[in-house]
Amino acid sequence: MTIFDNSFWVLGTDTGIGKTYVTSLLALYRQAQSKPFSVCKPVACGTYDLMGDMINEDVEGLKAIVTGHQTEDEICPWLLSQPLAPWTAAQHDGVSLSAEDIAAHVKKLHHTFGMVIAEGAGGVAVPLNGSESYLDAVQRSSFPVVLVVGMKLGCINHCLLSIEALKKRGIEIKAVILNKYIKELPEDVYESSKREISHHCSKIVEIPHISSYPMALGHLEKKSQIFDFDSFVDID
């Protein structure tokens, strides 16, 4: 059994801690296996104007992986202009977000393509509207979660609160990925943080610090330099 036996979400303990990085790596791995898949980031916040097109870097990265395979709307149906939390960005653009709509979109991709790797926005409990959070959308989709943890000061608290929130909703956590996206923690602090987090999740995967996102993707064939893909995708 592998993680790719079903669709799943890539969620994070915070914003800017490597969700798109992990989503892209897993999508590229799946692509290398010549197996059907789709990707999406249903809600993306923050755009810039490029020759009249509104661009979001995370969405562009996912589009590059599935060029010609998915439409832009399939990858990101809710592209919001401001780099803010989803509900705040949606209010600014006059857009309404709902957990049901997001879950329905992800499930539609699952039925169309066989599986979907769906990326969240911000942390796991970020609000979508006045009464729902991203947790509601994930719960309605019935898909499990891969949780990305940015290994920085405060990561233990952020990780354990995220795990608790997911478990309270009955959402399965397939794995916790520890991302050394910055070199903030001394090695001994990193190791102690990893030990504490490992008490709460049976599947821990580590990603070393990589100096640049494109360089990391370029090393996909040297996959051991990123993390042990074969070990990660094999859940049992």
Element (H, E) at 10: strand 8-12
Identify which of 158, 140, 161, 141 has the alpha carbon closest to the alpha carbon of residue 149: 158
Q: What is the DSSP letter of 11?
A: E
Give the tokens for residue 124. Answer: 């796991």
168 noted as active-site residue: no
Q: Which of 19, 41, 63, 194 is catalytic?
A: 41
Instruction: Identify whether the C-beta of residue 133 lies closer than 8 Å to the C-beta of residue 122.
Output: no
Using N-to-C axis directions, what is the helix angle for 19-32 and 57-65, rounded to 10°?
10
Give the separation between CA 148 and CA 16, rounded to whole angstroms.
10
Tokens 């590229």, residue? 28
Active site residues: 41
